[in-house]
Amino acid sequence: MATNADNKCPTASGSIRAEYPVTTPRDSSLRTRDWTAETDSPALAASSDNVARPSATSERIKIRSMSSSVSAMGGEYLPTWRLRERFAAGLSAMYGSEVPAYTTLVEVSTQVNRDYAARHPGAQRLGSLARVTAERHGAIRVGTPDELAAVADLFAAFGMVPVGYYDLRDAVSPVPVVSTAFRPIDAQELARNPFRVFTSMLALEDPRFFDADLRARVQTFLGRRQLFDPALIARARAIAAGGGCDVDEADDFVAQAVAAFALSHQPIEKSWYDELSRVSAVAADIAGVTSTHINHLTPRVLDIDELYRRMTARGVTMIDAIQGPPRWDGPAVLLRQTSFRALAEPRRFRNDDGTVIEGSLRVRFGEVEARGVALTPKGRKRYDAAMARLSGNEDPATVWGRYFPATDDQMAAQGLAYYRGGNSSKPVVYEDFLPASAAGIFRSNLDRDTETIAATRIADDSGYSMGWMAGAIGRHIHDPYVLYESLSKEALA
């Protein structure tokens, strides 16, 4: 069976070898809330991001000392943010070659940003033109807790840590995944390059989606695949521990990391993929194939309404709406997103009789987003109330104006949003995701809407939670509100 690992060369830094960490079997832990109790303990919450997995600790110490000697030999030393910048750019180049319409989206986004900044003097209050134009978020999906732990290790080398917990099983159109987002968290790191990846894991233990028989077969399938070369993960851990690597090592490391998210051209077992599709298109995308891939890569725009118009004028069919808050004259909050529908991409399928046929799949789409100020819990409640009122016939901006004040001054004074040092001209940008919007994007891109939890009354005893996920990946999962709060308290430069 071909895996992603097959097309990678053996590790260049063969001297750095850590055994790939094996997390505790979770068949039983999933059924209990042990993980939750353990990982909610203050000791773990207070620990740094990469020390919680006990089996890794001694390995880490070894790696740390080796990595410093490795770095002493080389030329220019690249800190993790430079690696993140290269990783984001590398993924963007790869995704553009795989999905040409993405390149159009990026071109139009770049023009919209340039034009908007030229016409609006305050445009860069939510981030410099350079940051916003380079800014992307990606979305990936994996199958198992071990795969998620490997992703966490890999992204740590790019200074990206898990923030937030999203349960898309609760969405209007439920999707059988639980998710987090890997991203930088310090103000300076975000300003340098804010690359973030929304990362979903298949909720295989949820009996509302998977019966025991299917679960066992999915487990067997996933147990046989290897998404990442263990040497790549070992290297990532060494780089994370050392805070960066030499420029020579960086090229190879980043190239391998990018390649791990390429779309595989291996034939897909058709009956297996179809069986999973009946549970959920996302389940098939995750567990119907032997590798993972970037599902979408999303540029950021300063004026998403203008972007929508220009894409439509170019003949690209966009989904019906821009999701999130409406356009209005007051402060932009949280996130507005839209996308063009998934395009059919050629894929090969293997029938049960062994014959291989050409076919196509529609799973990858082009999303674009505009970001606003981060809301406090009070502001978020207001947001949810306002969103619930948007469906009527009334002008959305008018509805919005009943819930939110029209100026940043009032937003700050009423404690609805975060501003740096309390200065209402310095909004703290929302750096996270919106589960409802995420589910909307999921839904609008499915060929069929199979994502309904069967009308059965099966109870969900899977035990997934943020604490569970933190335990599964051996890392603290940051609470977005805590991060925004501390950004807002930072003194102004």
* Sites of contact with ligand OOG (CB under 6 A): 139, 141, 198, 200, 295, 337, 367, 433, 437-438, 441-442
Q: How far is the CB of 444 from ligand OOG (least distance, A)?
A: 11
- Quote the tokens at residue 381: 């409640």
Q: CB nearer to Ni ion: give 367 or 408.
A: 367
Shortest distance, position 217 Cβ to ligand OOG, whole Å: 23
71 vs 337, which CB is nearer to ligand OOG? 337
404 makes contact, choosing from Ni ion, ligand OOG, none, with CB < 5 to 8 Å by partner type, with: none
- Give the shortest CB-383-to-ligand OOG separation in angstroms: 15
Q: Which is nearer to ligand OOG, 367 or 408 (CB)?
A: 367
Cβ closer to Ni ion: 280 or 295?
A: 295
DSSP letter at 419 equals B
CB-count exposure of residue 271 (10 Å: 0-12, 13-18, 19+): exposed
Question: Smallest gap, in angstroms, from Cβ of residue 178 to ligand OOG?
Answer: 12
Q: Which does 437 bind (CB under 5 to 8 A by kind): Ni ion, ligand OOG, none?
A: ligand OOG
Q: Whole-angstrom Cα distance, residue 287 to residue 359?
A: 18
Could you tell me whether strands 345-350 and 356-361 are parallel, antiparallel, or unpaired per DSSP bridges? Answer: antiparallel
Q: How far apart are the first and last CA of the chain?
A: 54
Instruction: At 359, list the tokens.
Output: 């076919």
CB of 138 to ligand OOG, least distance (A): 8
Q: Which of 219, 204, 149 is nearest to 180 (CA)?
A: 149
Q: 4 vs 200, which CB is nearer to ligand OOG?
A: 200
| 192 interface partner picked from ligand OOG, Ni ion, none, CB below 5 to 8 A per type | none
Task: Choose the one of Ni ion, ligand OOG, none that binds residue 442, judging by a C-beta under 5 to 8 angstroms depending on kind.
Answer: ligand OOG
With CB cut-offs between 5 and 8 Å by kind, which of Ni ion, ligand OOG, none does residue 23 bind?
Answer: none
CB of 295 to ligand OOG, least distance (A): 5
The partner in contact with residue 291, picked from Ni ion, ligand OOG, none with C-beta cut-offs of 5 to 8 angstroms by kind, is: none
**Closest to ligand OOG by CB, 23 or 323:** 323
Tokens linked to 350: 């293997």
User: Residue 109 in contact with residue 368, Cβ under 8 Å?
Assistant: yes
With CB under 5 to 8 Å by kind, the binding choice for 347 among Ni ion, ligand OOG, none is none
**Cβ-based nearer residue to ligand OOG, 193 or 437:** 437
Please report how close the Cβ of residue 318 comes to Ni ion at its closest, in angstroms.
15
DSSP label at residue 23: P
Helices (H), 329-461: 377-388, 396-403, 408-413, 435-444
Distance CA 106, CA 59 (A): 41
DSSP string, 183-221: E--SHHHHHH---EEEEEEE-TT-TTT--HHHHHHHHHH
Q: How far is CA 490 from CA 36, 189, 411, 414, 485, in A?
A: 31, 14, 18, 19, 9
199 touches which of Ni ion, ligand OOG, none (CB within 5 to 8 A by kind)? none
How far, in Å, CA of 388 to CA of 396, rounded?
Answer: 11
For Ni ion, the closer CB: 239 or 368: 368
**Residue of closest CB approach to ligand OOG:** 438
> CA 68 → CA 16, 24, 235, 246, distances in Å?
11, 30, 13, 10
Using alpha carbons, list the distances in angstroms from residue 30 to 4, 55, 145, 219. 28, 19, 10, 14
Identify the CA nearest to 235 among candidates 211, 224, 219, 251: 251
CB of 442 to ligand OOG, least distance (A): 5
Token pair, residue 30, equals 């999933």
For the chain, the farthest-separated pair of C-alpha atoms sits apart, in whole angstroms, at: 68
Minimum CB distance to ligand OOG, residue 147 (Å): 14
Q: How crowded is the C-beta side of 186, counted as CA atoms within 13 Å?
A: 6
Query: What residue ranges bind Ni ion (CB under 5 A)?
Result: 139, 298, 367
Q: How far is the CB of 110 from ligand OOG (least distance, A)?
A: 20
Q: Which of the listed partners (Ni ion, ligand OOG, none) does 200 bind, with a CB threshold of 5 to 8 Å by partner kind?
A: ligand OOG
Residue 463 CA to residue 178 CA, distance in Å, equals: 11
Contacted by 433, from ligand OOG, Ni ion, none: CB < 5 to 8 Å by type: ligand OOG
35 binds, among Ni ion, ligand OOG, none (CB under 5 to 8 A by kind): none
Nearest residue (CB) to Ni ion, 234 versus 294 = 294
- Closer by beta carbon to ligand OOG, 141 or else 237: 141
Q: In the 8-state DSSP scheme, what is residue 430?
A: P
Minimum CB–partner distance for residue 197 and ligand OOG (Å): 9
Q: How far is the CB of 298 from ligand OOG (least distance, A)?
A: 6
Minimum CB distance to ligand OOG smaller for 71 or for 323: 323
For ligand OOG, the closer of residues 160 and 411 by Cβ is: 160
